A = this chain, B = another copy of it.
Amino acid sequence: MKNNFQIPIVLLVNGEFPSHPAPMEILKSAKTIICTDGSANSLIQFGIEPQVIIGDLDSLKIDKNLFTGTLIHEPNQNNTDFEKALVWALENYVSDLNILGSTGLREDHSLANYFIFSEYSSKMNLKLVTNHFTITCHDGTRTFESKRGHIVSIFAIFPQTVVSTQFLKYPLLNSVLNPSCRTISNKSLASQFQVESNKPILVFHSHDIF
């Protein structure tokens, strides 16, 4: 099924507004921007009007009568605005979505967002792009385009996750990871690296070289 939204599509969440060139470039080149509630205020203040705003719309400071995009009032208190937007995107056959503003500010939201993100990553092609990292969630084998010196941090979501890597400074070979494992600050050795896992894992891949 198809929708009428022009691609690329970006979802802006109400955490820290992007400032690094990587998420900023994604924001500026988006053809469709979906905002969760309060994040629309930040985007409009930045000078860009979103195409879609979704949430309980309580924190929206714009004049709703003047807004020419799509306003989706979703008052369900059990879901966060981030999850409401992902549900709506799925229902509207969005297949690829870069998500900005998912971290920073309220730490409880940032932490919950990783779990929401990992659940929906099995249904859509999603990326969290923050001011430091591009974060993806996958199982099986995935190859990442990279530069030598990029930081790569890996988090298991489920206990007893078996992970192997290629072209990283500290290689993993069928290593059993639990969520509490601190497999952070590994480094890419080449223009690509690879991560293989038997269960979904979060891969944090830095924008910059360290």
Contacts and interface: CB of A to CB of B under 8 A. Distances in A.
B107 A130 contact: yes
A62 interface: no
A106 B119 contact: no
Given A103-B107, A107-B204, A204-B108, A182 B115 contact: yes
A161 to B, nearest CB: 13
A164 interface: no
A182 B80 contact: yes
Interface residues of A, number: 33
Interface of A: 79-80, 83, 103-112, 114-116, 118-119, 130, 132-133, 135, 151, 153, 155, 157, 159, 179-180, 182, 184-185, 204
Given A105-B132, A108-B151, A157-B180, 10 more contacts: A80-B184, A83-B182, A107-B110, A107-B130, A108-B153, A109-B184, A112-B182, A115-B179, A115-B180, A116-B182
